[in-house]
Every structure is written in structure tokens, then in C-alpha cells.
Amino acid sequence: MKNISSGVLGLFYKLGFFARTLRAVGSFGKRPHVSSRVLVMQIFFTFVQAMGISAMLALGIGAAVNAIGLPFLSMISQQHLIFSLLIIIITRELGPLLTAFIVIARSATAIATEVAGNVISHEVEAYISVGIDPIEHLAVPRFLGVTISLFLLNIFFSVFGLAGSFAVAQIFHTMPADIYFSNLLQNLEIGDIFISIVKSISFGMIISIVAITEGLAVERASTEIPVAGLRAVSAAFAGCIVVNIILTAMYYIVLA
């Protein structure tokens, strides 16, 4: 499997693995087993432990958008556009993508190296020998855990980003809370929420599948384990950026 993770062949391999993982999701939910603990721990590591860095990043971006954007818009008497700008930057564009980058930096490497370690230590072969489906045991809980976590982290990021903007509005512009949030709700559309959810779920699927397949692509040398982590990070970054461009283009073509 040395070259299975690169090139066109690697893309088809990942797509096939993705389809096989989706089929295994149903049986995973019907038969609770030890993999359920892996799912819980994956959500804890990917979502709960990433809440701190996500909150700080969201607060900083939300505050920066308001602090920089509002004075500029005031110069051209377009202060009302700050709410649309906040929704575009935080909820629709940067929220899903930055949370994906956080998850890639934290979880893609961890999953790839962990799965690669299982391959090197022959644990995958042991699962097969005793009749345990390695995809259901190794891939599905991590696939679900990362996808669910990125969805939740995206919501968390948006809330804190808008909260950071509100804090700046209160400190420097004394904007009342009812005016601030009522204007946000007036400018927030179903399409903004929909594309944000679609992006976060898509990114979660991409990151988890890439990390797992890169981990499984190692052969027998322990030196391949860190290399698998590096490949997972670079491939996940590229995949999320490409999909983000496609989904954004589709949004402006279909919904905007």
C-alpha cells in the first residue's frame, strides 16, 4: 500500500474507503461495543479539548472585524453593513474553514499516527483474524467523532466570534445588546446557516477519511508513522481548501 495514498489512484482509494465507511456506520450504531468508547474519546479530544483555542481565535477574529470594519464603514455611512460582514466572515466562510484547520492540526496527525501504529504492530491483522471488522472498529468511530466534533466546533466558533464582536461594540461604540442581536438576526439567512453546516460536515468527513487512509497506507517500518501524519495533514489541508472553494462557488451560484 506504499503508493496507494497518492495520485489519482489514491483519490479513488479514499472515495472507496469513504463509501465502505458509510456502509459500516449503520452496523456500528446497531451493535454497541468497545468502539463506542473510541467514539466518545474522539469527540472529547477533537471537540472538548479544542474549545479553548477555538474560543480565543473566534473572539479575536470577531473583535478584529468589528474594530476594523465599523470605523471604515462609518466613514462611508454604511455602518449597517457590519452585520452582513460579520455573518459572511465568521459564520459562512472563516468559521468552518478555521475550525477545520484546528482539527487538522490536532486530530489528523493523531489519528494517522495512531492507525499507522496499529498497522505496524499487526493489530489490524489481529482484528481480522478474530473476525472483527477493522473498518467498523477503527475507522467508523473516528469518522463519526471527527465529523460530529467539527460540526459542534463550528457552531461554537460562530457563537464566540459574534460574542467577540459584540464585546467590541459595547466597549468602543456602546451599541445596545438588543439592537446588535436584532440586526444580526435580520441579516442572518437560512442559506448562511445551511452552507456553514454543509462545510463543517464535509470538512469533518474529509479530515477523518484522509487521516485513516494515510495511517493504513504504511507498510512495516516504524519510521513511516510520522511520515503518515505529515501526509495526512497536507492532504487534509488541500482537500478542505478545494472543497471550500467548490462549496462557496455553489453557494453564490445557487443560493446567493
Angle at 95 between CA 7 and CA 18, to 5 degrees: 35
pLDDT confidence band for 3 (50 / 70 / 90):
very low
| pLDDT in the model for residue 99 | 95
Mean pLDDT of the chain: 85
In this predicted structure, the answer to whether residue 54 has a pLDDT above a threshold of 60 is: yes
Q: pLDDT digits over 123-173, tens only?
A: 888 888 887 778 888 889 999 999 999 999 999 999 888 887 787 777 766
In this predicted structure, the answer to whether residue 79 has a pLDDT above a threshold of 90 is: no
In this predicted structure, the answer to whether residue 113 has a pLDDT above a threshold of 50 is: yes
| pLDDT in the model for residue 2 | 47
Q: What is the mean pLDDT of residues 6-13?
A: 71
Q: Report the alpha-carbon distance of residue 140 to residue 149 in Å, rounded.
A: 14
Query: Do 55 and 160 contact (CB within 8 A), yes or no?
Result: yes
Instruction: Map out the domains of the chain as residue ranges.
Output: 7-255
pLDDT confidence band for 211 (50 / 70 / 90):
very high
Q: Look at residues 177, 181, 19, 204 and name the one whose alpha carbon lies nearest to residue 99.
A: 204
Q: What is the mean pLDDT of residues 84-111?
A: 91
pTM above 0.75, yes or no: yes
Residue corresponding to grid cell 479514499: 14
